[in-house]
Amino acid sequence: MIAVIDYGRGNLYSLSHALSHIGVDHAVSERPEDIRAAAAIVLPGVGAFADAMDALADRELVTPLRDAASQGIPLLGICLGMQILAAKSEEFGARDGLGIIPGLVRALPEPFTQGGIRIPNMGWRRLDKHRNDPLCKGLSDNIMTYFVHSYGFFAEDDSIVATSDVNGLAVPAIVRQEQVVGCQFHPEKSGPVGLQMLRNFFAEVGVTGTK
């Protein structure tokens, strides 16, 4: 089973529609037992870091998610879902995350020149790939994806697959630690490129969509 985690902080309709579009069977769930039984997990998210962690804790999902990652279950975090993979966040005060991928979530830099990117960073941005990764298989080096965020997950260098420039700072856009992958952008809103990334993620874990 592919489990899409519903903890009240994700744009589930767009994500579920994208997965159905590429023919990936999945179940939207907030139950810990579904995480434990999942062949792969998708963790979406929008909003504030602390609210997301509280929502996961309220549903008793924190430990099952950590256990799944430690057991090598493939996990894809999207937007805020990527950020809460981090050890800590500075958003509205220090707060612990899931601690699955080392790193810190902190505010994006404000523009220092006219014409810079206003925060929140919203829109289509180019990805700068740092290394090859199965998530980007079959995609060119000049790809655009859709972002909406005010904070970034600044992971350790060996976890960073791709970045996106925000006012002169290379902000991690894709991170990976073994079978755990995070996308700061929304693949489900990134057109054919995003759909191909979703196909690639599921193909890597042995789940082939029908479309």
33: annotated active-site residue: no
**How far apart are alpha carbons 5 and 24 in whole angstroms?**
15
Residues in CB range of 71: below 8 A, 6 or more apart: none
Q: Which of 17, 33, 79, 178 is catalytic?
A: 79
The dihedral built from the CA positions of residue 126, 151, 169 and 78, taken in this order, carries a sign that is negative
Q: Which of 26, 136, 149, 186 is catalytic?
A: 186
For residue 60, give Cα distances in angstroms to 31, 34, 180.
8, 12, 20
188: annotated active-site residue: yes
Q: Which two tokens stand for residue 101?
A: 């991928």
183: annotated active-site residue: no
**DSSP strand E in 39-136: where?**
40-43, 75-78, 88-89, 95-96, 103-107, 121-126, 128-129
**DSSP strand E in 118-208: where?**
121-126, 128-129, 144-149, 151-155, 160-166, 169-177, 180-183
φ, ψ dihedrals at 160, nearest 5°: -85, 125
Q: Which of 26, 136, 183, 188 is catalytic?
A: 188
Residues labelled as active-site residues: 79, 186, 188
